Amino acid sequence: MTEHEGFIRQCLALAEEAARAGDEPFGALLVVDGAVRLTARNAVLTESDPTRHAELTLVSDACRRFDAATLALATIYTSTEPCMMCCGAVYWSRIPRVVFGCSAAALGAIAGGSLVASSRELFAHGQRGVEVIGPVLEHEATDVHRRFWPRS
């Protein structure tokens, strides 16, 4: 098992929790020095707020709880590659690393995404780098989405 797989599996468990709660299946972790410091899951449907993505919620909470030095050491793990909105939150928070399970392209193919973009491509437009690692355990991560999204 790679250093990232355990954290991605925790994200997938959060994604499953979100689905059981009536939300879309997305989960995220903030890891600093190998320890999970925060978790979040999608709450778009239950909170009637399209911005309540797991990653955006996580970054917002992290910025309120941790100083810039701590954020500079952090990694965001996420069940699915972050969207444009969530990439913006990661970028502006100055968190330097994202590790994801399911790619945006795979999610788009499963869920019929209308705005599919690679996080690597999005971060490439910034003035500072954000390291992107993934997909990690993509087969497991896509299974979460296949179980949730209706077949077209």
- pLDDT tens sequence across 48-87: 999 999 999 999 999 999 999 999 999 999 999 999 999 9
CA distance 14 to 54: 9
Sign of CA dihedral 81, 51, 17, 19: negative
What's residue 152's pLDDT?
A: 42
Percent above pLDDT 90 for the chain: 91
pLDDT > 60? residue 136: yes
Task: Tell me whether residue 140 is one of the annotated catalytic residues.
Answer: no
Catalytic residue among 55, 81, 138, 140, which?
55
Residue whose tokens read 């997938």: 12
CA distance 132 to 81: 9
DSSP 3-state percent helix, strand, coil across the chain (nearest 5): 45, 20, 40
What's residue 151's pLDDT?
A: 58
Distance of CA 16 to the CA centre of its chain: 14
pLDDT > 90? residue 112: no
Question: What is the spatial order of strands in the sheet that 97-102 belongs to?
Answer: 35-41, 27-32, 74-80, 97-102, 131-133
Angle between helices 138-148 and 104-111 (to 10 degrees): 20
Band of residue 12 on the pLDDT scale cut at 50, 70, 90: very high
**C-beta separation of 23 from 15 below 8 A:** no
Q: What is the mean pLDDT of the chain?
A: 95
